[in-house]
């Protein structure tokens, strides 16, 4: 598959494997690879395949649609949906062998109307995030009893930390203790017990658990110092290079005025690609040279200031080792998660192994078969 606009994301599958191995050495638990939101913008099926080949035991996504997207792309491994599944759609999960999360007591009661034979479930305990899960022991025991009667296989017990990026771990510790106490009171074994996301898997010990749910760190990022490699490098090429004179303005609204003669270039990425208007004033890189985004980011293009004349066709790194996501997040007043997941499917992905392209996916050029 090809692409015809020179803006693309290189996805280094060896870096993904490196991160999985590096994390595994540290947490020594089974990996539940969190690949929701199109694998944090990296492409769900290619990341799923590599994660499973690198040892992930379960893939987790946010919705039945995301799970089915993987099944339709022939991903056969175990898949867990972390978010809400409509009770009336539970037969789809059963038919496609997709595990579900018990997101509330009312939900657990509602699905009892369906034939649940063969359904695999993970029970979520709400220990303080107040987003999803059961809160009381009575609810948990009743649901487990109902599920046993209905032929549901309740193979997992989990919770989710609200402040795992806090190095002081006060809330994380409190949530873990609640979870541990609940587990002991339930007095039953589960195939999978899991609490930690990336930051917790790196920074916080959960001896009760035999699995971790890792998302962001798979792709090379964590709030804590850790040996990880960025998986995605977002690149583009200069498509228009020119000199402007002092006093000339750049882009919509004329928010940038050249203070003196400058060389500037246009690159083909804009807010329709998920390249937020707040990038104005931030930098991208040509080799080691930082180039500032000047003037407003347009829908499909934006302008950068060059330190010297480069020919049209010169490669620019927008996000990667040089154009690091952390200073970028600060500039955009956001978090790496948002930057990665906002990148639109207008950006083709080139998957690399041993530095060689093995597949290119350009979602906008997939031909309809019927
Ligand atoms: C329930 C749950 N577990 C794990 C994760 C993975 O988190 P992270 O990307 O920080 O590893 C998420 C992501 O939001 C989540 O919602």
pLDDT by 10-residue block (mean), the chain, 370 residues:
94 98 97 98 98 98 98 97 98 98 98 97 98 98 98 98 96 98 98 98 97 98 97 98 98 98 98 98 98 98 98 98 97 98 98 98 83
Given a contact cutoff of 8 angstroms between Cβ atoms, the answer to whether 348 and 362 are in contact is yes
Fold of 232-362: Lyase, Ornithine Decarboxylase; Chain A, domain 1 (2.40.37)
DSSP state, residue 125 = B
Ligand 1 pocket member 61 (CB < 6 A): no
Out of 76, 113, 185, 252, the active site residue is: 252
Those residues with Cβ within 8 angstroms of residue 40's Cβ, 6 or more apart along the chain or in another chain: 215, 216, 218, 219, 337, 340, 341
Atom 13 (ligand 1): residue with closest C-alpha? 215
Atom index in ligand 1 nearest the CA of residue 199 equals: 10
pLDDT tens-digit profile of 151-209?
Answer: 999 999 999 999 999 999 999 999 999 999 999 999 999 999 999 999 999 999 999 99
* Segments of the chain assigned to CATH 2.40.37.10: 232-362
**Which of 29, 30, 32, 34 has most ligand 1 atoms within 8 Å of CB, for mutation?**
34
The CA 34 to ligand 1 mean position distance, Å, reads 7
pTM given for the model: 0.96
In whole angstroms, give the CA distance from residue 296 to residue 222.
30
Examine the residue annotation and report whether 36 is marked as an active-site residue of this protein: yes
Q: What percent of the chain has pLDDT over 70?
A: 99
Those residues with Cβ within 8 angstroms of residue 341's Cβ, 6 or more apart along the chain or in another chain: 37, 38, 40, 41
pLDDT tens-digit profile of 63-98?
Answer: 999 999 999 999 999 999 999 999 999 999 999 999
DSSP state, residue 123 = E
Predicted pLDDT at 366: 86
Examine the residue annotation and report whether 252 is marked as an active-site residue of this protein: yes
Fold of 12-218: TIM Barrel (3.20.20)
| Residue 52: how many other CB atoms lie within 10 Å | 18
* Segments of the chain assigned to CATH 3.20.20.10: 12-218
Ligand 1 pocket member 34 (CB < 6 A): yes
């Amino acid at each position: 598959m090809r692409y015809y606009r020179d803006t693309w994301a290189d996805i280094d599958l060896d870096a993904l494997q490196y991160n999985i191995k590096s994390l595994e050495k540290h947490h020594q638990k089974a990996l539940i690879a969190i690949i929701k939101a199109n694998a944090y913008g990296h492409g769900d099926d290619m990341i799923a395949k590599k994660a499973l080949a690198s040892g992930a035991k379960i893939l987790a996504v946010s919705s039945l649609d995301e799970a089915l997207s993987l099944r339709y792309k022939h991903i056969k491994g175990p898949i867990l949906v972390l978010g809400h599944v409509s009770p009336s759609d539970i037969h789809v999960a059963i038919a496609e062998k997709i595990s579900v999360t018990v997101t509330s007591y009312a939900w657990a009661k509602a699905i009892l109307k369906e034939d649940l034979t063969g359904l695999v479930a993970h029970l979520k305990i709400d220990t303080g995030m107040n987003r999803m899960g059961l809160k009381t022991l009575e609810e948990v025991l009743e649901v487990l009893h109902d599920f046993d009667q209905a032929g549901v296989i309740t193979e997992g017990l989990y919770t989710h930390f609200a402040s795992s990026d806090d190095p002081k771990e006060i809330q994380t510790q409190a949530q873990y203790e609640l979870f541990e106490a609940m587990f002991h009171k339930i007095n039953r074994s589960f195939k999978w017990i899991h609490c930690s996301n990336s930051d917790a898997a790196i920074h916080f010990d959960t001896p009760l658990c035999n699995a971790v749910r890792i998302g962001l760190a798979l792709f090379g990022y964590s709030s804590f110092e850790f040996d990880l490699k960025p998986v995605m490098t977002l690149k583009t090429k200069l498509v228009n290079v020119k000199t402007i004179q002092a006093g000339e303005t750049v882009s919509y609204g004329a928010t940038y005025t050249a203070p003196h003669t400058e060389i500037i270039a246009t690159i083909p990425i804009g807010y329709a690609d998920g390249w937020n208007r707040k990038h104005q004033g931030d930098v991208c890189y040509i080799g080691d040279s930082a180039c500032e985004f000047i003037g407003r980011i347009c829908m499909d293009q934006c302008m950068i200031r060059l330190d010297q004349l480069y020919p049209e066709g010169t490669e620019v790194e927008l996000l990667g080792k040089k154009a690091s996501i952390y200073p970028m997040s600060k500039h955009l007043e956001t978090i790496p998660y948002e930057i990665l997941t906002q990148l639109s499917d207008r950006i083709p992905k080139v998957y690399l192994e041993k530095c060689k392209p093995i597949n290119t996916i350009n979602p906008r050029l997939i031909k309809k078969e019927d």
